[in-house]
Amino acid sequence: MNPRKRTGGNVVIQSLEQIGNGGLFLLTLLAAIPRSLRYFRETIRQLWFVGAMSLTIIMVCGLFVGMVLMLQLYHVLSIFGSTSASGMVVALAVYRELGPVVTALLFAGRAGTAITAEIGLMRATDQIDAMELMAVDPIAYVATPRFLAGLIAMPLLTCVFCAMAIFGAHLVGVTWLGIDNGTFWSNMTAVVNLRTDIVNGVLLKSLAFGLVVSLIAVYQGFATPPTSEGVAYATTRTVVASSIAILALDFVLTAFLM
Amino acid sequence: MSQPRSSYAVGTGLFIVLGFAALAYLATQTTSIANVHQGASYTVEAHFANIGQLKDRAPVKIAGVRVGQVESIGLASGQDAADVKLSIDKRYDKIPLDSVASIYTSGLLGDQYIGIEYGHSKKVVADGGTLALTKPAQQLEAMLGKFFGAGGVADNLGGTYTVSARFSNVGTLSVGAPVKMAGVPIGSVQAVQVDPVKLDAKVTMAIDKRYNQIPDDSAAAVFTSGLIGTQYVAIQPGGSPDVLKNGSQLILTQSAMQLEDLIGKFLVNGSSSGSSKSSNTPSGKH
């Protein structure tokens, strides 16, 4: 495990090196899944930490995203006298783009940084080396449970985010701005498609984002230079790399799935 | 994280249940399960001269009630017509053979769907059968389509030549607007200027060199695409043996119409002269 050689200089070479190391690390993580089944409780604990503990921020953010989208759309669409379509636009925007992307960004900030910092600190304080001395596989015990937890948590969190966004849109649109309740739902159900919007949009995208964010978080943790400055550096890198990866991947996925 | 160990499992379980509940909510409450769920169905074909914006999985309706969906859209082999396969629910298998399939639009700007009006035949259309009587997408849709697409300007690959025309009123005609003949774009408007002496508008148009056989007594008119679309210059060919050349001027012009005049014209069903008179007394013509 010596992923970062600080050779400096060429950014392209460094990025390629990062991507290559990340890919190899992903294979290592996947190969360690059978071994990490022994630490099943650890996976559950991590799922509780990255998933259940993130619920509050995801729900609040989803609610506000739905509310503000509805507010904006209502005022624009009222120019054309088609405010009843705003619920459906909120649903499409949230399912196809905002839900997975915003959840992934929040997840990277909330859980990804925590994973990186925790593993980085373990490295800085030689806990990883200690595990190896005690014949405990740090990949199977530390890395894979966190990776799996992120992978499982992301789609679930995205679903919660989307549901809250719809709830927020309903709150603002129907309760506050007075769009007809029946029109709101019937327009939405007429346009939203289970396969292209829910499965492709929400589930597939969030699964891909979950994979990328958890991989980056765990990888950066293990690649942390074992100093306190290194932990700070790695945590920052997790957020930056995750955000870029999420948005770039989102474009690629949308281009392929649409 | 001071909770006792077992509460992790409980909390995580709750989280997973909540996530799946949210998914179930999204899937059942906000999507059209009806669009996806198809019971036993049978397939009927219909040929349309023009399907407009019809898409796969568009609804098929009888008397406004959804009975199936569009399965596939293709070009009928060897014909200038669209071949649309309709997948219709088995429960509605009593559709007369001479029923008429038409393409409608839900609302003004909504999606298109296929409506089937029952005929009087005793024979019903069977699985794999064809509905022979169809009506293509309506004219209003073509107009609204123009509103969104605003006509396309011809490419200038072959080079252009310039002609000018004078209008007493160009409405909202702007630089870049298409110049059309027989509805086909043949050039674009290069400049719109007001003449400080004659106090009218001089419109300079660049016309593709491929169209160099336009008679020099042709008329130019400012028209509007659709009801609320952008304006363009339409050239109506005359009968002169001489053709337009670079720098020619079109003498016969018709200025942009006011919407009020246009509506008046619609009401009296196309009287070509005296639009202002007819808009004042729209019923007098009948």
Instruction: Give the number of other CB atoms < 10 A from CB of residue A77.
Output: 16
Determine the residue among A53, A152, A189 to mutate to test chain B binding: the one whose Cβ has the most chain B Cβ atoms within 10 Å: A189
Percent of chain B whose predicted confidence (pLDDT) is above 70: 75
Beta strand B82-89 with B112-117: parallel, antiparallel or unpaired? unpaired
Instruction: Give the number of other CB atoms < 10 A from CB of residue A140.
Output: 21
Task: List residues of chain B with CB under 8 Å from any CB of chain A.
Answer: 1, 8-9, 11-12, 14-16, 18-20, 22-23, 25-27, 29-33, 35-36, 57, 109
Please count the residues of chain A: 258
From the list B9, B25, B30, the residue facing A189 with the nearest CB is: B30
d(CA A20, CA A229): 25
pLDDT tens digits along B39-66: 688 888 888 877 877 877 788 888 888 8
Which two structure tokens, joined as six digits, stand for B82? Answer: 């669209």
Q: Which whole number is the average pLDDT over A239-244?
A: 94
- Compare all CA atoms of chain A with the CA of B36 and give the residue at the minimum distance: A194
pLDDT tens digits along A94-138: 999 999 999 999 999 999 999 999 999 998 898 988 998 998 888
d(CA B140, CA B108): 9
Question: Which residues are registered as beta bridge partners of B234?
Answer: B180, B221
Q: Residue A123: CA atoms inside 13 Å, Cβ hemisphere, count?
A: 25
**A10 has pLDDT over 80:** no
- Compare all CA atoms of chain B with the CA of A161 and give the residue at the minimum distance: B22
Chain A positions in Cβ-Cβ contact with residue B23 (cut-off 8 Å): 155-156, 159, 198, 202-203
Beta strand B65-75 with B82-89: parallel, antiparallel or unpaired? antiparallel
**A229 has pLDDT over 80:** yes
**A247 has pLDDT over 90:** yes
Triad B155, B169, B184: Cα angle to 5°: 25
Question: What is residue A100's predicted lDDT score, i.e. its pLDDT?
Answer: 95
- Compare all CA atoms of chain A with the CA of B19 and give the residue at the minimum distance: A156
Q: Is the ipTM of this complex over 0.85?
A: no
Percent of chain A whose predicted confidence (pLDDT) is above 90: 53
pLDDT tens digits along A26-63: 998 999 888 888 888 888 999 999 988 899 999 999 99
Q: How far is CA A93 from CA A90, A205, B208, in A?
A: 5, 14, 42
Question: What is residue A170's predicted lDDT score, i.e. its pLDDT?
Answer: 93
> In this structure, what DSSP letter does residue B243 have?
B
Q: What is the mean pLDDT of chain B?
A: 76
E strand segments, B49-99: 59-62, 65-75, 82-89
Beta strand B100-105 with B82-89: parallel, antiparallel or unpaired? unpaired
Q: Which whole number is the average pLDDT over A194-221?
A: 91
Nearest to A165 by CA among A51, A55, A68: A68
Contacts with B193 (C-beta within 8 Å, 6 or more apart), sequence order: B201, B202, B204
Of these ranges, A98-107, B11-20, B65-74, B115-124, the one predicted with the greatest mean pLDDT is: A98-107
Three-state SS at B74: strand
Confidence of residue B275 (pLDDT cuts 50, 70, 90): very low
Question: What is residue B138's predicted lDDT score, i.e. its pLDDT?
Answer: 59
Confidence of residue B140 (pLDDT cuts 50, 70, 90): low
Instruction: Give the number of other CB atoms < 10 A from CB of residue A141.
Output: 17
Question: What is residue B6's predicted lDDT score, i.e. its pLDDT?
Answer: 62
At B45, which helix (H) or strand (E)? strand B41-48
Q: How far is CA A150 from CA A27, B91, B209, in A?
A: 16, 47, 63
**A1 has pLDDT over 50:** no
- The alpha carbon of A11 is separated from its chain's Cα centroid by a whole number of angstroms, namely 26
Give the residue extent of every domain in chain A. 39-257
Return the C-alpha torsion angle B15, B17, B23, B24, nearest 10: -160
Interface A-B: count of C-beta contacts within 8 A: 88
Contact yes or no for A74/A169 (Cβ under 8 A): no
Contact yes or no for A230/A124 (Cβ under 8 A): yes
Triad A166, A69, A188: Cα angle to 5°: 45
Chain B positions in Cβ-Cβ contact with residue A44 (cut-off 8 Å): 8-9, 12
Question: What is residue B147's predicted lDDT score, i.e. its pLDDT?
Answer: 54
**B193 has pLDDT over 70:** yes
> What region, left, alpha or beta, does residue B159 occupy, with left being phi > 0 and alpha being psi -120 to 50 degrees?
left
At A190, which helix (H) or strand (E)? helix A181-191
- The alpha carbon of A86 is separated from its chain's Cα centroid by a whole number of angstroms, namely 27
d(CA B26, CA A62): 14
Confidence of residue B274 (pLDDT cuts 50, 70, 90): very low
Q: Which whole number is the average pLDDT over A246-250?
A: 94
- Among A128-137, A151-160, B76-85, whose mean pLDDT is lowest? B76-85
